[in-house]
Amino acid sequence: MSQVKSRIRQAVEFLGLLVAAFAIRSFVAEPYEIPTGSMLPTVQIGDRLVISKLAYGARLPFTLTDQVRWGEPHRGDIVVLLNPKPGEPDLAKRVVALPGAQVAVRRGRLIVVPPDHVFLMGDNRDRSLDSRYFGAVPIGKLKGKAFCVLWSRGPDGMRWSRMLRPIKPPPQPDSGLAASP
């Protein structure tokens, strides 16, 4: 009888660990692997980032926007967002303009970032699918803020020097966008 109780206890403990892991990944932090070079040189193909899902707010698992917001993105943050194309992988981009910022003049019209939206671009400007193509992104569609490279694997194997490296925003003078509204 004690062996049965021991196995039941092990099963309950294992189930508890699974629930805890799911909760952490759903609400606190999530890994994200960089699949393309759109964020070079800051973030490299094969970097595995850790994103803080609590940086700006909270969302329920399997929902498409946040339910509670307590923070706002800052210019220079690297964020992971839900891909505007349903079914496509999430994207990592840099926040380059905040709500109210003037971004560009197109056909004689000034584009201003709408309230509760951010304008995102890849650091590798010439090779990035970003807000220039899909527009400003609602803040509620941001999954979280990237805060470190957990580990990195390149074509030649592990890049040990990139492990546990914090992600810092680069200098902003060459962004080509207005810094303030």
Residues identified as active-site: 38, 93
Per the CB < 8 A criterion, the answer to whether 49 and 149 are in contact is yes
Q: Measure the CA–CA gap between 131 and 122, rounded to whole angstroms.
A: 9
DSSP string over 141-176 = GEEEEEEEEEEEEETTEE-GGGTTEEP-PPP-TTS-
Q: Is 38 helix (H, G, I), strand (E, B) or coil?
A: coil
Q: How far apart are CA 46 and CA 33, in angstroms?
A: 6
- CB atoms inside a 10 Å sphere around CB 143: 21
Residue indicated by tokens 């040990």: 160
Contact 85/63 with Cβ under 8 angstroms?
A: no
Report d(CA 148, CA 95) in Å as an integer: 16
